[in-house]
Structure 1
Amino acid sequence: MMGKVTLRNLAAHKIRLVLTAVAVILGVAFVAGTLIFTDSMNKQFDDLFGRIGTNVAVDVRAKKVVEGDDDGMAAQPVPATVLKTLQGIDGVKDPQGNVNGYAAVVGKDGKIVGTAQDGPPQIGTNWSTGGTYDLASGRAPRGPDEVVIDAKTAEKGKLAVGDTTRVITAGPPARMRIVGLVDAGNLMGATLTGFDTPTAQRLMLKPGYFSDIEMGSTGPSQSELRDRVAKALPQNLEAVTGEKLREESKSDIAAMMSFFRTFLLVFALISIFVGSFIIFNTFSMLVAQRTRELALLRAIGAARGQVTRAVIGEAVAVGVVGSTLGLAAGAGLASLLQTQMGDAGQGGLTFTATPVIWSYVVGIVVTVVSAYFPARRAAKVPPVAAMRDDVALPQRSLRIRIALGSLLTLVGAGLIGTGLAGKGGNPPVPVGVGAFAVFVGVAMLAPVISVPVMKVLGAPFALLMGPPGRLARQNALRNPRRTAATAAALMIGLALITTVNVLGATTRASVDEQVDAQFGADYLVEVQGAGGIDAEAAQRIRTTPGVASASPTYEGNALVENKKAWYMSGDAAVIAKAAKLKITSGGTGIGDAGIMVDEGTAKARGWKVGAAVPVQFADGRTEQLRLAGVYAKSNLIGPRLISPQAHLRHTLKPTVTTVVVDASAPSAATKGALESSLKDYPNLKVSDQASLKADARKQVDGFVTFLTILLVMSVIIAAVGVVNTLALSVIERTREIGLLRAIGISRRQLRRMIRLESIMIAVFGAVLGMGIGVAFGAALQNALADKGLGVLAVPYGTLGIYLVVAAVIGVLAALWPAWRAGRMDVLKAISTE
């Protein structure tokens, strides 16, 4: 019987439950879209790496100074003489040396093809016939001025076989003729450039060296051949199986995609968390409106458990429908994400069981859990209540709610503080749990907070809008629990958006302060991408009219006390002036075997000026460097500054990353002259103090916008919640609305009343959320003050805009409920029980 009751109730409340399902759909869509998207990208990467090294049995490479590190800490490349040694080992088939490095192609428009900064790699290699890729047209390169490029790069750069183009590497741009196009398939946005082996060595490595040497097998297994090869290698080289080589490449991508999946799922969980408030509120109102009906069921013999199961059955139905539609919407979202990936997203979608399972698990479980407490309240309706006309569900005292909400808020704040202080091992966990506790705690306290706040927010409306304004304020105050539950959903989304915007404003202000305090050079010439500044470019900079001095700097990684350590290298006196270093002890006379460190590093290691600091460089050799000076913390220089002579002694192919420029008289004309001198170098950028700030702001603004867009989903769900609450409230107040119409209130005034009530609820949620967001942002800034966020900045203008947006959301959310209320028949409304 109760099954029929459940089906009847679903049919009777279609519109209300459809609105509830929207919250489920949006939350599930985020989860499903994330899982489908990352599964699709993983499949594309697997296909890409499946083509690489398919015939490689063993690969010979240099041992790494830091195990598992892939960003420049590898030892010296493999000498070409090793190739002859490998040819004499039994079982080795066709050993071949590879040269890999950075090489970018300049298109017809004079710009580098592909993303030069923080994008997919721009791969340069020595071309070998019969290798991983095949030529689509043309022929292989045969000399120092010939090159082959992948077909997609040629298409984007509007290049063809026979064209002459510039190729950017670590050295000077080389003018080369395109002699062939490579069929590279989907490189996921990367570019591929191939040279003959001598040219590749000269441009990207060093003559007589390979990045690695790969070989096939004439019979022995990969592990057996690896052991044979390893015995013939020098101590600084190692042999790995082709299978391990491919797994390493895949594991790096898998780690990246795992992080990206987790990152997106966090926002999906936020949307689901917000949606749970909507579901809870909707079922609470549905149960409250059906109190007499439920009492009648109890009166004719339905047990408490049956009533509970009937309501839960409705929740399961909503969860199933919402999950199904959410899964379909998730596929659309995944497709949209792929289109935003450019070339990396052209492989189509991959569907596995994982997103399907999780979509239904998340959708149904969240809906049922959110509806559980309203269902239990429904079961507690006494049968005698069926005999009363004014029956209503009993309301618990707010005392327990206030106590529990206060406790959760305080515990959450404590966990956030613990996580931000770096205690507890994994800071994101206590911070995330703490934020969750704060949101739940504030949501529990919201009914108490809403009464005084709504009185203040509603006062202008009551004063200026007459009876509709006064009625709207009374309606919002009538049921503080409902008002709070509706506003809480909007509170969460805007709290997180506000936190992101406060951090963005704080970062911009902090960067501006750091540039003002620590940037003392007139100009910096920086590399965009993975290349370098060659000697010819450096000479052009030095001879530019108006330039007084130009000093190159390098970057590198080393081991200091067996820990990976990034360092800068260059003329210490020039760098100290350019970065406005505050020397606290010693000086900048580091000579050809010296080092300077910041105060934090010196204190942590117990180093004093004159101490010997053992540094193991990328070539595996260790050198004792003398500590020449200690300086105050500098975010521009970092914790270590090493003499250029020491860096150059241990670097096979030195790469200048930045040139510090001082001008005789800094001006727009001097900057323009520098840019004109470097017009043949599209990978170099001239920056002054203003452009450094602008670049930093652009990066911060882009990241803030990206996070805000992801969080907008939760705000949309919250808006749906406002619509749902108002629609149910209109139904609940049908008789009241009829009486208002009967005593003379017009349809226009009635609609205005509902719109004003919606605006008050939305603005209340926004004020609460922005207050929490500012508090979160201030806490994060305080915790990260020593990491560079030294200035707290609150974007009041942006928050004002969000407040207006919240009011607009309130207006839009009220359109349908207000229209429906205005269309009610007065006599029927009055006669409604």
Structure 2
Amino acid sequence: MIRQLTLALAFPSVIWRRLLSHLGLALAVWSGMTLAVGMVVCIPVYAEASGYRILLAALTERAIADPLPPFAMVYRYGGASDPSISWQQYLLADQLAGHLPAAGIDLPAPPSVRFAATEKLRVGFPDGAGREVLFARIGFLSGVERHIQIVDGDLPRPFTGDGLLDVLVSETTASKNTLLVDDVYLVQSTGRGARIEAPVRIAGIWRPADADASYWFQPPSTYSDVFLVPEESFVRLVDVPDARFVTLTAWYTAIDGSSVRSSDVERLRERIAMATADIQQRLPGAELVRSPMDALERHRDQVRVLTVTLALFAVPLLVVIGYFAVQVTEMTVARQQQEMAVLRSRGSSRWQVLGLALGEVLLLGAAAWVAGLPLGWLLAQLIAWTVSFLRFAPLDIPPPTLLPASPWHALATILLALPAVLLPALSAAGRTIISYKSERARATRPPLWQRLYLDILLLIPAVYGYQQLRLSGMIGVPGVTVGADDPFRNPLLLLAPALMVFAGTLVGMRFLPLLLRLLAWSAGRAPGVALVTALRFLSRTPGTYGGPVLLVALTLALATFTSSMALTLDRHSEERAYYRGAADVRLAYPGAAITSANIAGDREIAPAETSLDLSGGTLGTTGEADTTPSTAYMFVPMEEYLTIPGVTGATRVAPSKADIIVGNTPATGGIFYGVDRTTLAAVLADAWRPDYAGESLGALMNRLADYPDAALVSETFARERGLRIGDRFALAMNDRGQTQNITFTVVGTLKYFPTLYDQGLPFVIGNLDYSFDSQGGQYPYEVWLSLAPGANLQSVAAAGIGYGLRMIRSTPQTLLELDLRRPERQGLFGLLSVGFLATTVVTVIGFVAYTLLSFQRRLVELGVLRAIGLSTRQLSALLVFEQTLVVGFGALLGTAVGILTSRLFIPFLQVRTGVYPDTPPFVVQIDWERIVLVYGISGGLLAATIVAIVLLLRRMRIFEAVKLGEAV
């Protein structure tokens, strides 16, 4: 017992000393575990933060239609089938509906706005004779006196129960029914049972002080048929035992949701549901007509989908980091193997030896847990600031916060990593010194994944996924895949290429020893010993370099694929934004029903989708004119637009609907763009792509100069109707109120033109001046502007308003920002960015550790080679060749697999949105710039290890290297 207690007490000291003896490797294992914890923690943290951002955006977008705050709550009672209630029933419901903290919704809020009204009463003359003047309700609206203007008269006095009941009448009702201040009327119930009958005096006439104020949870016109009285007066009138006078009620609470975070959403939903159930129990028929419930439910689903999606996206990155941790652990165990074998031979049990390894891993895991939590928050913040792949910028958004479950996520990651890190130690703990020596004398077996044919097994689902994508264009995940055409919401679209990366790399590793043997055989005929010795050593001992080569290859393959995917998606987003938006700015007449933003079936983005204020004082909140536009258009010389600060080019484009008439065939509905051929090409320089037509845009504009009636026709329509160069056709145009047939001559075709779509209506591009002349004068056109980098859109919009034009909201810049700020896209690119940085770090650490430990393990061998006559320079060359071959093979294999995967899978990752999702065409881009950057990092790593090796060789002494026993 005492012996076991002594051993137990000695364990921590032994573990600590063992860690200090290989501190560098211990720190490497700790860094891998910390990175894994950080990446696992950051995913739900970012998903929660972005989900809250989506929640606020959804609530704010809905609030544009009314002035209520995003978290407004409105309960209402009273419909056609709802019976009247007593004042006591109202008070019972009011205890909760009018005081939400009592109902369990304990968020900051001003006092509720409370409303109650009677049924419609007959309003007649005091003597009761003659027809009624009108029908009206009597009601109260709490706090109304602070939000109205008294047009005439004064606020009503409280009713004492005797005499006249003072009431307020809306200005609309007073004008319609000729009601004057101090007029006296008699109000009477029209139904059976308890009756209301009271003389009323018009004390004042009111109008809303600000009809758009958040106080008005119902439009002020709602109260036009209500005689408003103070609450005390209403109570005096309706608080009659057994009388049911109250017909309409409503409670409005402007909850302050600024303190709500995503982690509070589920609790808030539950409390709102419970409060609603309690209110409905007290007042059956009460309805929650306005609340954040729907948005909260969408938020919950959004967070769930985003978390699962990003978690699946993170799997390949976590596999690389996990493989790094296992490799470093194997290096650590290899360094301690002889020590462990000696312990086993001298009486230590297998479990005692394994306990030492377990103690080390648990200590490192605890340190990784402590460091991984703040790292996870930092990575989540970095993802939230992601603009694109490896591009970050601080954004004005709510910062992410660690979740209550984050510590448990970190702990689960460490517990899952423990078996992987302990496997090498478990295998080594069973060896004695004899079995250890015997195993080292035997030839190295292939790695476990080769013996289990894991590479072939991974290749099967990767090839199957590619076949599914090639045949059907999608891979779906029930309950997770939200949009089959959106790779940011479909994780299997990226898991399939990730499997291909791993499978391709492993398959390449299977054939690498054969390639090395062939190179060694070829090098045997060349002079010199360094290269052939290095090749023979690598070809005979694949286990010594397999880990580093695989790590480098996986990192480069993933980097090549992810960076190429990001570049392709970024470039396509930019090209799609410029295709929809055409020029940097488009100015149109406010009353134009047809614009370049909607003529082809597209839509102009809504005001809620952009923060750009384009009202300018003369336009309404919708961007359209506040008044009916005049038909007297102001045509400003184009030179005037060039004087606007930031404008570098201006051109005229007139979109219009027209019927295309070819020969004797029936007319076909189409689109005509009248353009200014001399200035259009310069303005559309950023929006034009060489594959949009068989010729450059400048050449096409030159073709329009051949004849005044020259025209470019959409390629598909020309093919369908058999139109060729030189053929003539007609357009039935009606831009000036009179239909005219105008002839055109085909001078060229084009498949794509910004804002127009070959899959939709056929289009024709012609000379604008010819259209003017043929129709008898100018008609409204748009002004398209190109801007200098950094130009201010607000000032350009203001200048356009000065010329009587409004700015079309669908600018390329706005469209691109909307696309780039999507949480799914931001999360994916952010995760891939931090994953790329993490895998690069672990690859560097792993390769350095491999280099140094490989040198130490081969110290005896190097000493023998030095003793038999090899010079320090030859040994340096030998090791330099080895390191170069390891890094070079890993880099070449990774690059080849990454490019192959990119060519196979990126074509299926197009985001298909809009009316015509396949326009413009999706073009795969290989990110050679970042591939070269990674090669530069690999080259720097290789140079650093070469310098370290040369320094170690110069310090090596033969009599220390060549000795009895083993190298450390």
Aligned ranges for residues 254-653 of structure 1 at < 5 Å? Answer: 254-258=300-304, 261-262=307-308, 265-266=311-312, 268-302=314-348, 307-308=353-354, 310-334=356-380, 342-345=395-398, 350-366=401-417, 368-379=418-429, 381=431, 384-385=434-435, 391=441, 395-396=445-446, 401=451, 403-418=453-468, 421=472, 422-423=474-475, 425-426=477-478, 428=490, 430-431=492-493, 434-435=496-497, 437-442=499-504, 444-451=506-513, 473=535, 476-504=538-566, 506=568, 529-530=609-610, 533-535=623-625, 543-545=635-637, 550-551=654-655, 573-574=671-672, 580=714, 582=716
- Measured against aligned partners, the alpha-carbon deviations of 1:214-270 in whole angstroms (never above 9, x if no partner) come to 8439xx9756878999989xxxxxx5355xx12333334444455554565456544
- 2:624 partner amino acid: D
Root-mean-square deviation over aligned CA pairs: 6.3
Q: What is residue 802 of structure 1 aligned with on the other side? A: 934
1:110-146 Cα deviation digits (max 9, x unpaired):
xxxxxxxxxxxxxxxxxx989xxxxxxxxx999xxxx
Pick from 288, 301, 304: which aligns with 1:240? 288
Distance 1:572 1:88, change over 3 A: farther
Task: Specify the alignment match of 1:176 in structure 2.
Answer: none
Equivalent in 745, 759, 771 of residue 896 of structure 2: 771
SS of the residue aligned with 1:731? helix
In the TM superposition, residue 750 of structure 1 has moved relative to its aligned partner by 5.7
Question: Which whole-Å CA distance do the structure 2 matches of 1:265 and 1:715 have between them?
Answer: 20
2:8 aligned with 1:21, yes or no? no
CA distance in 2, matches of 1:431, 1:315: 36
Which residue in 1 is equivalent to 2:962? 830
Q: Residue type matched to 1:344 in 2?
A: I
CA distance in 1, matches of 2:634, 2:354: 82
Q: Distance in 1 between matches of 2:139 and 2:360?
A: 68
Q: Does the CA contact (< 8 Å) of 2:513 and 2:542 recur in 1?
A: yes
Over residues 372-415 of structure 1, what are the superposed CA-to-partner deviations in whole Å (9 max), with x where a residue is unaligned? Answer: 44234324535533676965685258895374422322333213
Work out whether residues 36 and 334 of structure 1, in 8 Å CA contact, stay in contact via their aligned partners in 2: yes
For structure 1, the 5+ residue unaligned runs are 61-82, 98-127, 131-139, 143-194, 233-238, 554-570, 592-631, 643-659
> Which segment drifts farther, 391-400 or 578-587?
578-587
Q: 1:814 to 1:15 in 2, by over 3 A?
A: farther
| Deviates further, 720-729 or 525-534 | 525-534
Match in the other structure for 2:40 = 31
Give the corresponding residue for 1:216: 252
1:481 partner letter? G
Q: Which residue does 1:148 correspond to in 2?
A: none
Return 673-682 or 350-359, whichever deviates more: 673-682
Alpha-carbon distance, 1:301 to partner:
4.4
AA at the equivalent of 1:411: P
Query: Which residue identity does 1:32 align to in structure 2?
Result: V
2:833 is matched with 709
Amino acid corresponding to residue 252 of structure 2 in structure 1 = G
- Separation of aligned partners in 1, 2:528 and 2:139: 92
Which one is further off, 794-803 or 274-283? 794-803
Aligned residues: 626
- Is the 2:341–2:431 Cα contact (8 Å) retained in structure 1? yes
SS in structure 1 of the partner of residue 431 of structure 2: coil
Q: Cα–Cα, structure 1 residues 423 and 579, in superposed 2: closer, same or farther, change >3 Å? A: farther
- CA displacement at 1:334 relative to structure 2: 4.6
How far apart, CA to CA, are the structure 2 residues paired with 1:750 and 1:87?
99
Question: Residue 678 and residue 52 in structure 1: after superposition, are their counterparts in 2 closer, same or farther (change >3 A)?
Answer: closer
Asked whether the equivalents of residues 556 and 894 of structure 2 are also in contact (C-alpha less than 8 Å), the reply is: yes
Which consecutive unaligned segments of at least 5 residues does structure 2 have? 1-6, 61-67, 78-112, 120-136, 151-207, 224-248, 254-273, 386-392, 482-489, 588-596, 598-603, 615-621, 639-650, 658-668, 675-710, 722-729, 735-750, 772-781, 788-792
Kindly provide the amino acid, as one letter, of the partner of residue 56 in structure 1. M
Aligned to 1:114: none
CA distance in structure 2 between the aligned counterparts of 1:404 and 1:351, rounded to whole angstroms: 37
Query: TM-score, with normalisation over the residues of structure 2?
Result: 0.51
For 2:943, the equivalent position in structure 1 comes to 811
* Contact 2:116-2:141 at 8 Å conserved across structures: no
Tell me the CA shift for residue 311 of structure 1. Answer: 3.9
Q: Are the counterparts in 1 of residues 75 and 252 from structure 2 also a CA contact under 8 Å?
A: yes
2 CA distance for matches of 1:96 and 1:575?
A: 57
Match for residue 736 of structure 1? 861
CA distance in 2, matches of 1:480, 1:736: 17
The 1:345–1:673 alpha-carbon spacing in structure 2 relative to 1, beyond 3 Å, is closer
Distance 1:314 1:215, change over 3 A: same
**One-letter code of the match for 2:833?**
I
Instruction: Return closer, same or farther for 1:820/1:640 CA change in 2, 3 Å cut-off.
Output: same
Q: CA deviation at 1:465?
A: 13
- CA distances 1:251-291 after superposition (whole Å, capped 9, x unpaired): 34444455554565456544421122112222333334444
For 2:653 and 2:220, the matched residues in 1 are separated by: 32
Asked whether the 8 Å contact 1:409–1:439 carries over to 2, the reply is: no
What is residue 236 of structure 2 aligned with on the other side?
none
Amino acid of the structure 2 residue aligned with 1:480: P
Looking at structure 2, the residues matched to 298 and 756 of structure 1 have their Cα atoms a distance apart, in angstroms, of: 38
Question: 1 CA distance for matches of 2:209 and 2:757?
Answer: 39
For residue 362 of structure 1, report the CA deviation from its aligned partner.
0.9
**Identity of counterpart residues, as a percentage?**
15
Contact 2:72 2:252 in 1 (8 A): yes
Once the two structures are superposed, residues 557-584 of structure 1 have per-residue CA deviations (whole angstroms, 9 ceiling, x without a partner) of xxxxxxxxxxxxxx95348999948459
How far has the Cα of 1:200 moved from its partner? 8.4
Higher deviation after alignment, 760-769 or 519-528 = 519-528
Q: Give the 3-state SS of the residue equivalent to 2:252 in structure 1.
A: strand
Deviation of 1:92 after TM superposition, in Å, equals: 9.3
Contact 1:29 1:326 in 2 (8 A): yes
- Measure, in 2, the Cα distance between the counterparts of 1:552 and 1:86: 54
Amino acid corresponding to residue 278 of structure 1 in structure 2: F
In 2, the alpha carbon distance for the partners of 1:714 and 1:759 equals 20
* Conserved 8 A contact 2:37-2:372: yes
State the 1:447 CA deviation.
3.7
How far apart are 1:21 and its partner, in Å?
1.7
Compute the displacement of 1:359 (Å): 1.4
Mapped to 1, the partners of 2:38 and 2:767 lie a distance apart of 54
Paired position in structure 2 for 1:107:
none
Cα gap change, 1:590/1:746 in structure 2, threshold over 3 Å: closer, same or farther? farther
- 1:722 corresponds to: 847
**1:452-510 deviations in Å (ceiling 9; x for gaps):** 55679999999999766556555544532342322323333332332234335555787
1:324-381 per-position Cα deviation (integer Å, ceiling 9, x unaligned): 32234334445656775533246xx744442212212213422x23234423432453
Shift in CA distance, 225/95, structure 1 to aligned 2, threshold 3 Å: farther
Distance between the aligned counterparts of 1:697 and 1:459, measured in 2?
A: 55
SS of residue matched to 2:654: strand
Question: Partner amino acid for 2:19?
Answer: L
- Aligned partners of 1:230, 1:579: CA distance in 2, in Å? 66
Does the Cα contact within 8 Å between 2:579 and 2:755 map onto a contact in 1?
A: no
**Partner SS state of residue 794, structure 1:** coil
Which amino acid in the other structure matches residue 408 of structure 1? L
Change (3 A) 1:511 1:86: same
Corresponding residue number in structure 1 for 2:73: 56
